[in-house]
Amino acid sequence: MADGNARRIETGELTGLNLLNPYIQGIYEPVAKEVTALDLKVIGELPKDLHGAYYRNGPNPVHAPQALHHWFDGDGMLHAIYFENGKAEYRNRYIRSDDFKAELAGTLDAGGVLFPANRARENKVYKDTANTDVIIHNGQLMALWYISGTPVRVNSRTLETIGNETFGGKLPRNVSAHSKVDPDTGEFVFFDYSLYEPWMTFGTVSPTNELVHFGKVDLPGPRLPHDMGLTKNYIVLHDLPVIFSESGMRNSMWQIKVADQPARFGVVPRRGRGDEIKWFETDSCYIYHVINTWEEGDEVVMTACMMTPNGFAPNPEYGPYAAMVNILALHAVPVEWRMNMRTGECKKRVLDDRIGEFPVVNLDYAAKKSRWSYHVAMSSDQLQKFKGLFKYDLQTGDAKEYMFEPGLFGSEPAYAPRINAKSEDDGYVIVFATNENTGVSECQVIDAQNFEAGPIARVQIPARVPAGFHGTWARGDQMAG
């Protein structure tokens, strides 16, 4: 926390109530420079069979905020590290969305979620930052936003923004973060949720970037899902009891409540109609992030991180940011749901009681049965800090742990299969980590089959990598030139 009336950060000066905002300071402080760094110094040795890139998206306000600022509203910035022939290079670039360019030009007509929505903008009532998620499809990246926005194409090698992605002008709505790519077909399968009807939609884009299917889902009202499941034949959509409050809808404010209703999972064929959806009820809960989803016989199996109470009360030390800080203190455990398409039964099984989030899997096993997943271990304080990593066995519920050294906090990792991998976990876990005391960042490379031993290589990054959101891995042969 800062003392006095002002504090200088890289992108400007913090004053007033923003001095109380922890998510604009410390490991969350934005960086001002876009950097390209080649032939990076490595402690240890990078394996020669590691070829591809680890990307991570996150918020990075181009200007120090003058008004109230939610962490989720920062301008999108991608950080990437590229591996080939035992060498590594690093880049970071802003995602130049339409709203990013409008902000620089002084013409932005929408604010963040702490301010009233601009309903005149119809399908994007808040500033669209494209700061949440990143996927690789058709050789290039797509940056995606958690409130559903316009996908932004980014060059997978240079990180330079290509432009908005509308799939040949045929995209009728928006696309949410956590939409998925099928590794076997190359299809991009997406969902969208909205403050206007239809409340939820879904669609499929071909490997060559053509919109080939679009469907609408009938819901009782607007919902706030965050993720979806994908199998070989189905999409699993979420109707969860976290919804917009009546006063929030009336006053165009981002105000949510927990409704007294069960959670529902809607299983619909990937090329199906909305009226073909099959709903499964389960205990009331909220899910930010799905681990993986697949089919077993008559069952659709979804694993995900289910939220549990974090045990914190809002801390007055954070002033008007106390509620934001409390909500961002994510506590979740891995859970499996089995939805029987023949009987309509939904069975739930808690896999473990350790608190972890931001799960990733070997993307070659996405949408099919998998055994291993990699999660961040949450810090015990109220801020969203990642103190280490778990490797979960989804069959047994067992987990292996690797904790960062004191003062070092990580990002969502990515799993990188080694060249000619022989099994699901024959590869590496890649993760950015930053020292909160020195601001020094590195990228750690961990042998997934010797997980508890920690990194076999630590790539020294000549720039600070702030804490952020979601990432992905792309093999070298998936990246267009």
Q: How far apart are CA 29 and CA 136, in angstroms?
A: 27
Q: How far apart are CA 162 and CA 133, in angstroms?
A: 17
Pairing of strands 140-144, 133-137: antiparallel
Confirm if 148 and 175 have CB atoms less than 8 A apart. yes
Q: Which residues are annotated as a binding site?
A: 178, 226, 289, 470
Q: How far apart are CA 81 and CA 473, in angstroms?
A: 10
Q: Please, what's the largest Cα pairwise distance for the chain?
A: 64
Q: Which residues are annotated as a binding site for Fe cation?
A: 178, 226, 289, 470
Q: Is the omega angle on the peptide bond into residue 198 within 30 degrees of 0, that is, cis?
A: yes
Confirm if 222 and 193 have CB atoms less than 8 A apart. yes
